[in-house]
Amino acid sequence: MSLNENLINRRNKVVSRGIGLISNFTTLSGKGALLRDLEGNEYIDFTSGIGVTALGHCPEEIVSAIKNQADKLLHACIMVSTYEPYIELCETLVELFPHGNNTKVMLTNTGAESVENAIKIARQYTKKQAIICYSGAFHGRSYMAMSLTSKVSYKENCSPFNSEIYRLQFPSYYHYNDGLSYSDFIKREINRLNNFFNEYVSPNNVAAIIIELIQGEGGFNVAPIEYVQELRNICDKYNILLIFDEVQSGFCRTGKWAAYQHYNVIPDISTWAKALGSGLPIGAVIGKQEIMDSAITGTLGGTYIGNPLSCVSAIETIKYMKKNNINQKALEIGEKIKSNFEPLKKKYSGIGDIRGLGAMMAIEFVKNNSEPDSEFVSTLLKSCWKRNLLVINSGLHKNVLRFLIPLTIENELLEKGLNIIKEEIINLYS
Ligand SMILES: Cc1ncc(COP(=O)(O)O)c(C=O)c1O
């Protein structure tokens, strides 16, 4: 039995089946956009560990800052005493993402934890209970986050879910246009929300609307700008908090620090994780000061929130992103993806849509014009893996190929990976 097979066998014996496994790759080490398996084979990573290692694997500056911090302090607990890296990171985040005149932050360990706390804060501030979320949404696997998550396979047999959660159809023009013009579609979706307040839940009971401006697990569906701007007005009108979940879209992935910066709309609260830590677990809830401070002392917290190592990793990640203009890199990668696959879309009707923002790009595959073609994507992924390119899917039907390429990838590796995908698509369609 090979070393790779042996490790996977050992995994199968001791790791819960509830934790899914996308590929049969093993990983011993990583550098930049390359990973190495237990047998020494190198493969290209187009997933960044699901959007985390935006700066590639083990960037030297960040690893060395983590090592230095490890010699100084591993843990203190921010609820017990105050340490500099926690405060410096919060100061940096407030400066990057002002949510009003004064902004405050709560650090967390994960995306799901950020979402949990955003909801707790929104309920405390508004003294209302209901939360509106969207079809196709993914907000994590803890109970509130899972309850807000749409896809049923993430929550099979896990009920009862949290109550007072209401779900609207995500305004995806590609999926739900029903032949309407773009502007009529926006009008219909805004009407849908206003009718929702008559049919399902009173705005007087709604604490918050939570939305991913570009859905991650849902298949990189992009919310229309006009819709989001109107959402802001509606939230203001009814004293509903607008929460943007930026866990997957944040920190340069879309070519801006935040996806919301493409929209000219400021949320009341935003949630973050993934790329912020470059691989160490860290998340954040950012919000207007009066909202963040409305949480009663003691209702927020956690032993590990803002662990010193994770804070240092995040501080260095942001410095690196600024210094190397990673937003620009993301825009360039996005353009490369488009220019490689747009010509194929003209040729093959199976390529239904190419969409995204910056480097957060995806290709949706369909058959008979609009039916999800999950089998095609499953075969495509496997044929890419055989050629040592790690790619993953997304979408409710797993029929979307998503690109979460490390933003620091060398041109040569980028071209090589994109060519493999192109060749395999052509192969499978011929
Ligand atoms: C938009 C979004 N929110 C929340 C989460 C949950 O994050 P975590 O897995 O760190 O709990 C994810 C994870 O994929 C996500 O994409």
Q: How far is the CA of 257 from the centre of ligand 1 (A)?
A: 17
Q: Which two tokens stand for residue 339?
A: 């220019």
What is the rounded distance in angstroms from the CA atom of residue 118 to the CA atom of residue 94?
A: 16
Alpha carbon of 23 to ligand 1 centroid (Å): 20
Binding-site residues, ligand 1, Cβ < 6 A: 50, 110-112, 115, 138-140, 212, 216-217, 245, 247-248, 273
The atom number, within ligand 1, closest to the CA of 137 reads 1
Which mutation among 50, 109, 138 tests ligand 1's pocket best, with the greatest number of atoms within 8 A of CB?
Answer: 138
In angstroms and rounded to an integer, the radius of gyration of the C-alpha atoms of the chain is: 21
User: Strand pairing of 206-211 and 241-245?
Assistant: parallel
- Closest of 139, 150, 149, 326 to residue 244, by C-alpha: 139
- Single out the residue of 31, 88, 32 nearest to residue 318, CA to CA: 88
DSSP state of 96: H
Strand pairing category for 283-288 and 371-372:
unpaired
Q: Whose CA is nearest to atom 7 of ligand 1?
A: 111
How is residue 161 annotated by DSSP? P
Closest atom of ligand 1 to CA, residue 246: 1
Taking the CB of residue 84, how many other CB atoms lie within 10 A of it? 13
Phi and psi at residue 42, in whole multiples of 5°?
Answer: -95, 145
Measured in Å, residue 217 CA sits from the centre of ligand 1 at 8
Q: Helix or strand or coil: residue 269?
A: strand
Closest ligand 1 atom, CA of 113?
11
Q: Find out whether 75 and 308 touch, Cβ atoms under 8 Å.
A: yes
Distance CA 314, CA 168 (A): 34
Query: Considering only CA atoms, which residue is closest to atom 13 of ligand 1?
Result: 140
The helices-and-strands tally (H runs, E runs) of the chain is 14, 16
Give the pLDDT of residue 354: 98
What's the CA dihedral at 32, 38, 40, 44 to 10 degrees? -40
In angstroms, rounded to a whole number, what is the distance separating the alpha carbons of residues 322 and 83? 24
Return phi, psi of residue 56, to 5°. Answer: 85, 175
DSSP string, 389-415: EE-EEESTTS-EEEE---TT--HHHHH
Tell me the best of 133, 150, 274, 400 to mutate to test the pocket of ligand 1, counting ligand atoms within 8 Å of each CB and taking the most. 274
Residue 420 CA to ligand 1 center (angstroms) comes to 28
pLDDT (tens place) for every residue of the chain, 430 residues total: 999 999 999 999 999 999 999 999 999 999 999 999 999 999 999 999 999 999 999 999 999 999 999 999 999 999 999 999 999 999 999 999 999 999 999 999 999 999 999 999 999 999 999 999 999 999 999 999 999 999 999 999 999 999 999 999 999 999 999 999 999 999 999 999 999 999 999 999 999 999 999 999 999 999 999 999 999 999 999 999 999 999 999 999 999 999 999 999 999 999 999 999 999 999 999 999 999 999 999 999 999 999 999 999 999 999 999 999 999 999 999 999 999 999 999 999 999 999 999 999 999 999 998 899 999 999 999 999 999 999 999 999 999 999 999 999 999 999 999 999 999 999 999 9
- What are the structure tokens assigned to 280, written together? 């160490």
CA 59 to ligand 1 centroid distance, Å: 23
For residue 371, the model assigns a pLDDT of: 96
Ligand 1 centroid to residue 358 C-alpha, Å? 19
Q: CA triplet 145, 150, 151: central angle to 5 degrees?
A: 115
Q: Where are the beta strands (DSSP E) in 62-141?
A: 103-108, 130-134
- The DSSP call for residue 180 is -
Decide: helix, strand or coil at residue 175. helix
pLDDT of residue 167: 98
d(CA 276, CA 132): 26
Instruction: Write out the two tokens for 203.
Output: 């705005």
For residue 116, report the distance from its CA to the centre of ligand 1, in Å: 11
Distance of alpha carbon 408 from alpha carbon 317, whole angstroms: 12
Residue ranges of domains in the chain, CATH in brackets: 3-58+325-429 (3.90.1150.10), 73-323 (3.40.640.10)
Residue listed under structure tokens 């501080």: 315
The answer to whether 356 touches 334, Cβ cutoff 8 Å, is yes
Instruction: Tell me how many degrees the CA angle 362-389-6 measures, rounded to the nearest 5.
Output: 125
Which residues have C-beta within 8 Å of that of residue 152, sequence separation ≥ 6?
none
309 Rama class: left (phi>0) / alpha (psi -120 to 50) / beta: alpha
Class of residue 346 by CB neighbours under 10 A (exposed 0-12, middle 13-18, buried 19+): exposed
Tokens 């949480």 belong to 295
Give the other-Cβ count within 10 Å of 229's Cβ.
13
What is the C-alpha separation between 8 and 238, in angstroms, rounded?
A: 52
Query: Could you give the CA distance from residue 260 to residue 270 in angstroms, rounded to a whole number?
Result: 10
Give the position, in ligand 1's atom list, of the atom nearest the Cα of 217.
Answer: 16
Q: Which residues contact 155 (CB under 8 A, 6 or more apart)?
A: 146, 147, 149, 161
- Distance (angstroms) between ligand 1 centre and the Cα of 235 equals 24
CB atoms within 10 A of CB 209: 27
